[in-house]
Amino acid sequence: MKLAFFVDPLESFNLKKDSTMAMMVEASSRGHTIYAFCHQDIMLVEGKVCAQCQRIALTGRYDAGWYQAEGIQETVLSDFDAVIIRKDPPFDVNYLTAAWLLSLAEKQGAKVFNTADGILAHSEKLSIAQFQQFLKPTLVSADEDRLRQFHTQYQDIILKPLSGMGGMGIFRVQPDGLNLGTIIETLTANGQRHIMAQAYIPEIVDGDKRVLLINGKVVPFALARIPKLGETRGNLAVGGTGRAQPLTVRDREIAETLAPELASRGLFLVGLDIIGDWLTEINVTSPTCFREITDQTGFNVAGMFIDELEKVLSSSQH
């Protein structure tokens, strides 16, 4: 099969833990042909969505020479067996433009994973509101008074922007309310931008768990991202430590409830964030943690991903 990966620049990959690279390695080992393109490479030409795609061959190395470029060709996206969206946030105008073009490519016959429409319909922060039974108290607002009331009511809260990744811009405000006004002013741009407030979940000390869903199925291990000392964020990008562990009964309840529903909406790969017994985010743009789970447990997450991809593509060809 010909697989095209919509990615950030290949030289920016973190080779120790990149999930996209794990997908590419698995796909290549099965004889599939790998292509890559970035947001600036997508074009609409004579009514067709295409991209300047670089064919790459993997070398088996885990350094700057991990791939060899085998030429660039302009290809209509519907000519690939699959287009796999793996571009990281932020969900900015570049991401939006690419998603709109990929949505058009889907209408022209391209098979896109996750579907662009699925991604566009699911804010990674806001879409948790569709599953209230799994949420701690949550408020989304740009209004300072309302946000202050939420703090008064719940005393210990988390405030965070609705865009971004890797723990950027996340603040904990404890009962003393220290710097609450400044944090609200900064995050809301003086009342012009919505943010999310959530009741603090003390179980964060045991990790912010990433649970992966692939084609409506649940990966049996989570990666608990443990905050470093003095931090309230477990994100690996801000120094958290990843510990793979079996799912708890509650993890599985949440995951098995959401998995078929999200898959039916075109979300082939989803990363749920669960703290304690509570759902905090639904990541749909570029979920990670494949390598950490595989390295620590032996469960081949990338193998499951390519298995399910091959299954879907095979059934669509009949």
Active-site residue flag, 273: yes
**Can you tell me which residue has the tokens 């790998």?**
34
Active-site residue flag, 225: yes
Catalytically annotated residue among 18, 273, 292, 308: 273
302 phi, psi to nearest 5 deg: -60, -35
**DSSP run (H or E) holding 98:** helix 93-107
Catalytically annotated residue among 125, 209, 251, 291: 125
E strand residue ranges, the chain = 2-6, 33-37, 42-45, 48-58, 67-76, 82-85, 112-113, 138-141, 157-161, 171-173, 195-199, 208-214, 217-218, 221-226, 241-246, 269-275, 278-283
**Can you tell me which residue has the tokens 């405030």?**
159
Active-site residue flag, 146: no
Catalytically annotated residue among 86, 87, 225, 291: 225
Active-site residue flag, 228: no
Which among 77, 84, 162, 79 is positioned nearest to 116, based on CA atoms? 84
Catalytically annotated residue among 209, 233, 251, 308: 233
Catalytically annotated residue among 26, 55, 283, 292: 283
Active-site residue flag, 283: yes
Catalytically annotated residue among 160, 208, 251, 291: 160
Active-site residue flag, 281: yes
Catalytically annotated residue among 26, 281, 292, 308: 281
Q: How far is CA 190 from the centre of its chain?
A: 29
The residues that are catalytic are 125, 160, 210, 225, 233, 273, 281, 283
